[in-house]
């Protein structure tokens, strides 16, 4: 698990209200992983797929360290063309997140 700045604890996350969540495919280069994003007021939490019985937290990113950009992905084929994608970046990683 990567926690930026070492400032995030489980208690802090549990005390916050979940604002939104959703399944995404995170793509970095040619590697794609199914993940789930949870957006809280101050943090973005990235976990493995939600459909497993248990999930593992991969990243906890304070929103002050996160940047989001528009992303136009042109190599999708078929029904994937209608999906929404954004570029997520923080000091250690950059991903294209495609919502499905």
Cβ neighbors of 57 (< 8 A, separation 6 or more) are 1, 45, 46, 47
11 membership: H or E segment, kind and range: helix 10-14
Q: What is the pLDDT of residues 51-94, one digit of tens each?
A: 666 677 888 888 888 888 887 665 555 555 546 788 888 877 88
Supply 13's token pair.
Answer: 């996350």
For residue 37, how many other CB atoms are within 10 A of its CB? 19
Domains annotated for the chain, with CATH where assigned, are: 2-99 (2.30.29.30)
Strand partners, 87: 69, 96
Q: What is the pLDDT of residues 19-59, one digit of tens each?
A: 998 888 888 888 888 888 988 888 888 888 756 666 778 88
Q: What is the torsion angle, in degrees rounded to the nearest 10, for the CA atoms of residue 98, residue 42, residue 58 and residue 7? A: 150
- Average pLDDT estimate for 1-10: 54
CA pair distance 2, 26, nearest whole angstrom: 16
Q: Is the pTM of this model over 0.85?
A: no
């Amino acid at each position: 698990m990567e926690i930026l700045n070492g400032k995030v604890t489980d208690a802090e996350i549990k005390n916050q209200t979940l604002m939104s969540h959703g399944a995404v495919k995170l793509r970095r280069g040619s590697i794609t992983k199914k993940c789930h994003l949870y957006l809280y007021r101050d943090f973005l939490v990235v976990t493995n797929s939600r459909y497993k019985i248990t999930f593992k937290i991969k990243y906890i990113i304070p929103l002050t360290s996160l940047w989001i950009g528009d992303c136009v992905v042109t190599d999708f084929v078929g029904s994937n063309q209608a999906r929404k994608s954004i570029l997520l970046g923080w000091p250690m990683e950059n991903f294209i997140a495609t919502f499905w």
